[in-house]
Structure formats: C-alpha cells, structure tokens
Structure 1
Amino acid sequence: MALRPEFQSEQFQKGLEVRRAVVGDAYVDKSLNSADDMSAPLQKLVTEYCWGDVWTRPGLERKTRSFLNLAMLIALNRPNELRLHMRGAVNNGVTKDEIVEVILQAAIYCGVPASLDAMKAAHEVIAEMEKEGVLP
C-alpha cells in the first residue's frame, strides 16, 4: 500500500503499528486507502496522536486501555467504534466473559439502554470473530 505523503512521518508509522496490532490490517487498510483530501487530515491525527502518542504510553497496558475504551464508548453511545474496539479488546486479551462484565458495569453507570445496545454489538462481533476463527 502506497501511503499518502502526509502519512510518512515517524509518529504516524509508530501509531500505525499499534493501530494495526489492535484493530487489524483490514480495517486500517480500508480507512487509509479511502482517505481523500477531506478525511486524510483526520486519519493522520487519529493515527499519530491516538495510536502513536496515547496508546504507546507506558502507564497502562493495552488490555486496560481496551477496557476503558469499551466503557467510554458504551457511555457515549458510539456503536460503530464500540464494535471496532470490541475486536481490538479481544486482540488485546480481553475475554468474552470480561466484555460481558464491562457491559454489566456500564448498565449501572451508563444506563440499561446503553448496555442493551452494547450487548447486541458484543453478540455480533463475537459471532463474526468465531466465524472467522479468531475466537474458539
């Protein structure tokens, strides 16, 4: 894949490595390959700062960051990002049982409707990952 010139910085490459490890090559390739003049600056920002600066900090393990992302995305009602980060959470070692526990915790602090939507997303993502052979 030939990267756009703005995707060539060292910080972008650092973030790209983590982003690929967490959410997978297919998702990252699709995001970057579809970047145009309007969306490329956002892809650059997300990859450099989210993945390159924050996700690489030594203060938290990736699994812990995934737990936090799941909880925050449930609270913010962001189902598309939640599905993506559920996959990333599994890639970072979060189990199906732990995902259920996050959803139950969120039911108390974020509300039942948010947790019902999150459970629906979890069912979809887990079923997809089992079908793909990523999960037993």
Structure 2
Amino acid sequence: MSERYDNGMKIRRSVLGDAHVDRAEAAKTAFDEPFQSFITEGAWGTVWASDKLTRRERSMITLALLAALGQWDEVAMHVRASANTGATPEDIREAMMHVAVYAGVPAANHALKIIKKTYSEMGVEI
C-alpha cells in the first residue's frame, strides 16, 4: 500500500473510530477492495489529510453535503464521528441551517431528525 493509503487509514480510524473501520475492513471483498482503497487514499489520505481546514470544519462541510444529497446513513455515521472531530451539536445545527437555505428545508428537516436520533443513541443531550 502507498504512504497516502497508510496516512488515510490513520485519519479514517481517527475520525470514524477503530470499530467502524474494523467492521468495514472485515466486510471488504476482492470485488470492492479497489473502491475501498480509492476512498482511503482519496477521501481520507488526500482531502481529510489536507491542513487547509480543520477536522471540525471538514466534519461540518461533510454533514452539510451529505444532508443536501440525502445520504442519510452517512449523516448518522458522520454525526457519530463528530465526537472525534470537535464539531459540536451547535456547529452541526448551524450547518443544517445552511442546508435549509441552499439545498432545501425538507433535506435539512430530515437530516435534523436523524441527527437528533443519533445524538440520543450516543447519549448526547441536545
């Protein structure tokens, strides 16, 4: 594996947690291994590895984009990851306000429902 892959895996584990990454790695097959390597190098080893934004900022941007695109499972995953990135519930609420204005109230409203449920499951009072 490349240095970018190794760095990406470290960042991926730091943001998403070892348990999540271990489950993803255990589910990996020869069919999707190239895709998994691609996202580890590209998303985690390049985009998330850049020092131009903080992990908190990346977390907020990621959640806004996922909500705008209706990627609900990923919204929940990245809310859980926010415990590792420093993005607070207030930060995420503000990101959803942007989603409402720029991508639509229904998308933000549904994301907020998922965010509240995820925080409840995490034992985070909001």
- TM-score surpassing 0.5? yes
Find the counterpart in structure 2 of residue 83 from structure 1: 76
Task: Tell me how far apart the structure 2 counterparts of residues 114 and 82 of structure 1 sit (CA, whole Å).
Answer: 11
Find the counterpart in structure 1 of residue 54 from structure 2: 61
Residues 37-116 of structure 1: pairs in structure 2 closer than 5 A: 37-116=30-109
Greater length-normalized contact order (CA 8 Å, ≥ 6 residues apart)? 2
With normalisation by structure 2, the TM-score equals: 0.91
Q: 1:39: Cα distance to partner?
A: 1.1
Q: Deviations over 1:68-90 (max 9, x none)?
A: 10111111111111111112223
Identical columns (%): 37
Q: Partner amino acid for 1:111?
A: G
Gaps in structure 1 of 5+ consecutive residues: 1-7
Gaps in structure 2 of 5+ consecutive residues: none
Size of the aligned set, in residue pairs, is 125
Task: Tell me how far apart the structure 1 counterparts of residues 43 and 108 of structure 2 sit (CA, whole Å).
Answer: 25
Aligned with 2:18 (options 9, 12, 25):
25
With normalisation by structure 1, the TM-score equals: 0.85
- Ranges of 4+ aligned residues in structure 1 off by more than 6 Å: none
Q: 1:11: Cα distance to partner?
A: 2.1
